[in-house]
Structures are given as C-alpha cells and as structure tokens.
Structure 1
Amino acid sequence: MASSSESNTRPIRLADIAKAAGVSHGTASNVFSRPEIVREEVRERVKAAAEAMGYAGPDPKGRLLRAGKVNAIGVATTEPLSYFFDDPFARAMMAGISEACDATGAGIALVSAGNQEKLAWNIQSALVDGFILFCIEGGSRLVELTRERKLPFVALELGFDDDTVSAIGVDNVAGARLAAQHLAELGHRRFAVLALPFADGSTGLVSPEKVRTALYTGTRDRLVGYFEAFSRCGVDTAGIPVYETENDEASTRAGLETIFASAEPPTAILAMSDRIAMVAIEWLAARGMAVPGDVSVVGFDGVPDAALCDPPLTTVAQPIAEIGRRAARTILDFDGTVRRETLGVELVVRASSGPPPKTA
C-alpha cells in the first residue's frame, strides 16, 4: 500500500479517478476521449471525482505518441525565432505552409535557437511528424539533429549536396540571369551587387576566392547567374563590387555606404533578396537619389511587400507560397520517397528599374 507521502507527491492517474468514481478504467477513459458513448450520469460522476482530485485529463502527448502520429509539422531554422516574423520571405513561406496544414487540420511548431545546445534540445523535444528546414546550407548540424529523430524532413534549398535529402527550391542561376540581362538591356554598364551571406558571420566586399569557397551555394549561384549575363553583354565583371550582407538593414546600409563612396558609383544595383532591395531604395531616397532615375534596383524573391514599396520593386519572383505548400505536403503525405524539386522563376518588371541617367 502506498504511503501517505507517496500519495501526496505521485501524479493523479486515470486509474485513481476510475476507482474514486466506482467505474472501470475503460469507462473513465471514454469520459475524456469519447464522452458521447458514456451515460450522462456516469460522465458527471467521473468528472466530479476528477475535479475533486485536481485531475485535468489524460496527457494528450501520451495519447498522440501511442497513436504514432501527432498531426503537426515542425518548421526549423538556425535563425532566431524572430526570423519567422521579421523576414518577408519567411512570412510568405509560412503562409503557404499554413495553407497546406489548414487543409488537413495539422498544426505547426516553430523550432529555432540562437545556439547549438538549445537547437539540439528543441529538435529532440518537438512533438511533430516531420520537419521543414529553413536555411539548410551551413546548417549541417540541423540536418544531423533532424536525422537523429528518424522523422521525414524536407529542405527549402536545393544547394545542399546530398541526394538523400528531400529538397524544394528554384534555379538561382537562371533567375539571376534574368535580372542582370534586364538591366543590361536597359543600357546599364555600372553595376553593384548586394549579396546574401557567402559564409557564416561575415560581411564586406567579397573577393573571388570567397566566391569560390562559398558555404552558401544559393548565394554563389545567384552571383554566377548575374556574371554570366553580364559577360554575354560585354560587361567586365572584375570591376563590379560585390558586398556581402547579413540580409538585414544594418549590413545593407553599410554596403551601400561603401559602394557609393566610389568615384564611379553604380547606376544599377542587383540585390539578392527583396528585403535588401527595399532597404536600398529607402537609403537612396534618403540621400536624394531617384529610383530609377539615378539608380535602378532589382530584387530577388517576389515577396508581397515588394509590390507595395515606393517605387514598386522589379524582382525575380519565386513561387514562395507554392514551395511552402509542397514542403508541407511532403511531410503530411510522406511515403518514404526522397523528392528534389526545382520550381520556375519569373522576372516581374515594375517601376524600380529603368534606363541609366544620360550623364552616366
């Protein structure tokens, strides 16, 4: 027989409620999981016993785990949790993921961490059926931790060099070619590139060596696409400054300060994200430079915010929401198959790009 101290510290179990109410364990369980099949008189007696003993009901985690499926997707990143709310690309992606989850009644768990120890714990403890991985490149630890869970996962980037990893992304080289060709055909010959990270924790002007050894192949591929188009138009790419940002306002502004300190500043800026491009437009306007009258700006992503800035942004549009929907369905309908999909992009021409100034 349990001692009084044990009974005071031991959690109240469903069996205790059944005994107190004078019903079987199965009947008590049905009161909480299938109340419609239990007589009202019995339901009330069991609920009264539960309330008196401070019992809130069976732990839903245990029931879900016994069923083998929790009907939820984990969306994981090595970025801080604020990334999901601050970054326009992440917000658009989450809209697509949410749409697919809403269609099946599935839930979403956001998994992120500012350091590796917390990331490991968050991945291991997430109650989900699988993971969608943001920022896959440079985050090999994220892949390792997800694999340890032995759950399906899909990366939102094709650059991860592992054919055993399901991935959904776009052709970054082809998209970048469209942007650069558009500006060259408008007559521009002085360009600058505001790049996404080539490696972790670094910003500044980028050397050819850093491009060759880039950790983030998506960044490298976009630069390759820009330079391929320029070379075809006879533009000397060696003279084009490439400034590595952290895809945020501070590093983008620092890059613009550096680029426009040149004796011959660019008449056109290629930004590797719409977020960078919109910061650039604000920076130029604050200094009295007209877009596109003095400087044209072209982004990459096609986030909804891009159509609303002043002027509306010319950009290479990815099918962001569709990528999110497909990623979610890859987890929700997982059949053991590894899938690697490349979706198309398109150049959306708006008011932020035009011919170079006549004095250039």
Structure 2
Amino acid sequence: MEKVVRLVDIAKAAGVSQGTASNVFNRPHLVRDEVRERVRDVARSLGYRGPDPKGRLLRAGKVNAIGLVTAEPLSYFFEDPYARAMMAAISQACDAHSAGIALVSAMNEQRLAWNVQSALVDGFILFCIDEGPRLVELTRERQLPFVALHLGTKDETISAIGVDNFAGARLAARHLAGLGHRKFAILATPLTDEHYGFVTLADVQAGIYSTSRDRVAGYFDVLAGFGVDTAGIPVLETQSEHEEALREGLGQIFAAADPPTALLCMSDRIAFAAITWLAERGLSVPGDVSVIGFDGVAEGAQFRPPLTTIAQPIHDMGQLAVEMILGDSGDIQRREFETELVVRESTAAAKK
C-alpha cells in the first residue's frame, strides 16, 4: 500500500518543527518566505496533499455547517417552490453566521445510515419525519442537535418548527365559502409515498403524512359549517413526480355533471399546475373557477392570475431552524408559527 505522507514527515524532511510546517499550510504569514518555500517544495516532492480538513474540524469540535435532510430526491430542494424558498431562507441565515450547508438524502434506505453518520455538520434540519423513525434514530446516534421542519409528530422529545395546518386550511376554506362557493374539490399533497389518485375519507385518515391529513380535516371542518356535504367533495392525492396523474384527475373532476367552482390546493405548486390546466381548457380563473394555494412562495405574486394562498412565514422558520442548530442550548424547542391568508386575483365570488 502507498504510504500516506503526514505533516510530521514534511517537517522532518524540511528540517523544521512540526509547528512550523503546520503554519506553512494554515497560517503562512507567520513563516519567513524562504522557509515557507522550502517546506512547500518538500511537500510537493513527497506528494503531500495538505492537512486533513476532517481532523482539523474534529479537533476544533465545530464544523460550522448544517445538514439538510430530506426523504425526497435531492432535486426536491431545487424543483419544489416551497423547498426552494426554505433553502433560500436557511442559506441567508447560514451566510449571516458564515456557516455552510450540506444536503443529505434519506431517500435510499441502504445509504441512509452512511449519509447521516458521515456528514460533517454541527446538526441537522429534517424536512419531514412523518415516516422517518429510522432517520430520527440515526440522527440521535450522532449526538448532534436536530430540528424538524414539521410539527405533526407527536414525539415531544423532538425539536420542531412548523405551522398549524388545520388552522391554515380552515382559513382557506372560510375564504372560499365566504365568497359563496359550495362546490369544491381538494388537490392534496401526498398522504402516502406511492399512491396518487382519488382517495376516500378512510384513506385520508390512514395517511402517513399528517400535513395532508390535517389540511383535509381543516377544510371539512369549515365547509361542514357552511352546509356543504363534505362526503361529496372529491379529494385527489398528488405526487410531484406524477403531474400527468394530476391532469388526468382534473379531467375527471371537471367532466362531472356538476363540477366544482373552487379548488382547495394544498400547495402553491399544485395550484400553479391546476390553473395552467384550466387555462388550457378555456376555463378562466377566477371567472369560472376560484383557486387557492398553500405556502406563500414568491412565485405566487407573479403568477397569472396572482395566486391567493395561505402563506407560511418561510423566512422566519428557516432562520429559526439555523439559530436552533448553531446556538444549540440542549433544550427541546417546539415553535408553532401562524399562517396568513393572502388574497390576490385567483379567487372571486361564486357565479350566481
């Protein structure tokens, strides 16, 4: 096996102390020019690649970096509008602390342990832990702070940041019902990992993702109070990688004899896709159909028509997550933020 050249070997060959050799690579301004050049020449001749950053970081006890973990493909951080907005908020907070970011995928179960255990970070921000007991277990084994961007878990031993999805959904339903709408369809975020298509109330209640369950419950809670038969509201479960299925589902919804006049979309991304589909078929928003989203991403204000939505304080949530990791107090922290109804041009009064 090829011998690994160490800093002590460089120092011995150059005739300097190990401390001087270390300064050449870490604090070169402390070393005289001629000594610095001699040490570097020796290092090049021996094939030395420089100090091992892992060793330096471990000795320091801090990496000054945060790991972002998702069970989705890593492309999720760049393709999903909510994830992009959260990434931007976390990045800005990390910049303020001169901290780095490492993206960690929990999608591959076989690689999960290695990905979590080998990440050089000071802590983790977990994007979803509804189906992630193994992820939580592995993170705890690292004995590093972690926070979930999700309050749905009932595990009070996990630090978490999120919003009241039930209350946010109630805001959306009340807004549309207040405009006179009584015929609805719900375009839901995933309830499970694999299924997409129409689901029953039993399917909703059995779903593993509490975000989607809570939002359906919030919609139904308000609509029932307005006299709407919630059993007759179609609920279409979507998956981001199966947009064609969303389009097919919308086709079935609007082929009905008495189609909805309002769509309750559980994400702005779903709302954008629905509005595009409606426009392709000559249905105007909000003239024929009102559409409301959920997230409050920046793209909603520029969309045509500008999207009415339930806004989450994404920037504040991302900033707090970073501060909880980098300034870890050792205490469990759970913070619930309020959502806000942002009324724009994609919703209007129901046709008489």
Aligned ranges for residues 164-243 of structure 1 at < 5 Å? 164-243=157-236
- Residue aligning to 1:162: 155
**Structure 1 residue 315 and structure 2 residue 309: aligned?**
yes
Aligned ranges for residues 1-360 of structure 1 at < 5 Å? 9-248=2-241, 249-358=243-352
Following superposition, the deviation at residue 64 of structure 1 comes to: 0.3
Q: What letter matches 2:152 in structure 1?
A: G
Paired residue secondary structure (2:305): coil
Following superposition, the deviation at residue 286 of structure 1 comes to: 0.3
Paired residue secondary structure (2:293): strand
Following superposition, the deviation at residue 262 of structure 1 comes to: 1.4
The answer (yes or no) to whether the contact 1:31–1:38 under 8 Å persists in 2 is: yes
Following superposition, the deviation at residue 255 of structure 1 comes to: 2.3
User: In structure 2, what is the Cα distance between the partners aligned to 1:123 and 1:354?
Assistant: 47
Following superposition, the deviation at residue 113 of structure 1 comes to: 4.4
Q: How many residues align?
A: 351
User: In structure 2, what is the Cα distance between the partners aligned to 1:42 and 1:178?
Assistant: 70
Q: Which whole-Å deviations, capped at 9, do the CAs of 1:301-343 have from their partners, x for residues lacking one?
A: 0011111111010000000121111111110101101100000
Give the gaps of 5 or more residues in structure 2.
none
Paired residue secondary structure (2:128): coil
The answer (yes or no) to whether the contact 1:78–1:119 under 8 Å persists in 2 is: no
Q: Which whole-Å deviations, capped at 9, do the CAs of 1:279-315 have from their partners, x for residues lacking one?
A: 0000000011000111110000001111111101000
Give me the CA root mean square deviation.
1.2
The answer (yes or no) to whether the contact 1:273–1:301 under 8 Å persists in 2 is: yes
User: In structure 2, what is the Cα distance between the partners aligned to 1:201 and 1:141?
Assistant: 19
TM-score, length basis structure 2: 0.97
User: In structure 2, what is the Cα distance between the partners aligned to 1:37 and 1:183?
Assistant: 69
User: In structure 2, what is the Cα distance between the partners aligned to 1:314 and 1:254?
Assistant: 24
- Residue aligning to 1:3: none
Deviates more, 1:289-298 or 1:49-58: 49-58
Paired residue secondary structure (1:315): strand
**Identical residues among aligned pairs (%):** 64
Q: What letter matches 1:200 in structure 2?
A: D
The answer (yes or no) to whether the contact 1:192–1:240 under 8 Å persists in 2 is: yes
User: In structure 2, what is the Cα distance between the partners aligned to 1:212 and 1:108?
Assistant: 36
User: In structure 2, what is the Cα distance between the partners aligned to 1:41 and 1:155?
Assistant: 53
User: In structure 2, what is the Cα distance between the partners aligned to 1:344 and 1:251?
Assistant: 32
